[in-house]
Amino acid sequence: MSEGSSNFKIKLFPKRVSRRRIRCRQLIYCLILTSMKNILKHLLLLSFLILLSACTSSRTTGVGTSKDNKVGEVVFEGGDGSSLVRAVIITNAKTSYQGIQAETVYLEKTHGIRNLDWRMISQDLLEAKNKTYDVLTIEKVASKKEVKVYFDITSFYGKL
């Protein structure tokens, strides 16, 4: 041999891997990736369906179904709530929770969807003429106008 040449061979693979084994591994990886893509597609579809059903379901408040002046057993009487004299009187609420839910239902019936058409600014308790009133200040989202709505809550105030 000449001085410049050598018999040194570099082994790239320590073992000789057959082409069949390489194809088998490629096939397995391909199957795994395909099944993972299918699982992700199904999860995406399921998530979309859940979101869609949540958006289309009716809003329930726990009080009952609403009619013109009645929600379940709770009845709206009196005025339109624009002042203390014209306060909305809530009757037949068995608990404070049910009465407060009825207030929200009334506001949604008269002013639209909460946090979309209007948002709550404050809630004040007022006692006058031996009656208890809830004064809710809301803001109409579109006009940025504040509106006070008066509720006579004497019939359910303090009930657990």
Q: Torsion-angle region of residue 129: left (phi > 0), alpha (psi -120 to 50) or beta?
A: left
Query: Do 62 and 126 meet the contact criterion of CB atoms below 8 Å apart?
Result: no
Cα dihedral: 26, 27, 29, 31 (round 10): 160
63-90 residue pLDDT tens = 333 445 666 788 899 999 999 999 999 9
| Confidence at residue 56, expressed as pLDDT on a 0 to 100 scale | 54
Unique residue bearing structure tokens 């194809």: 23
How far apart CA 79 and CA 74 sit, in angstroms, is 16
pLDDT class of 128 with cuts at 50, 70, 90:
very high
Sheet of strand 145-152: strand arrangement: 70-71, 74-78, 88-91, 145-152, 131-140, 118-128
pLDDT at residue 60, rounded to an integer: 37
Q: What is the phi/psi pair of residue 61, to 5°?
A: -115, -5
Q: For 74-96, give one letter per residue: b (16+ CB within 10 A) or e.
A: bbbeeeebeebeebbbbbbbeee
State which of 40-44, 70-74, 116-120 shows the largest mean pLDDT.
Answer: 116-120
Q: What is the pLDDT of residue 4?
A: 56
CA-CA distances (angstroms) from residue 97 to 18, 47, 61, 64, 74?
74, 33, 11, 13, 12
- Alpha helix locations (H) across the chain? 19-56, 96-111
Q: Looking at per-residue confidence, does 31 or 102 come out higher?
A: 102
Do residues 102 and 89 lie in contact, with contact meaning Cβ atoms separated by under 8 Å? Answer: no
Task: Answer yes or no: is pLDDT of 103 > 80.
Answer: yes
Residues 28-54, mean pLDDT to the nearest whole number: 77
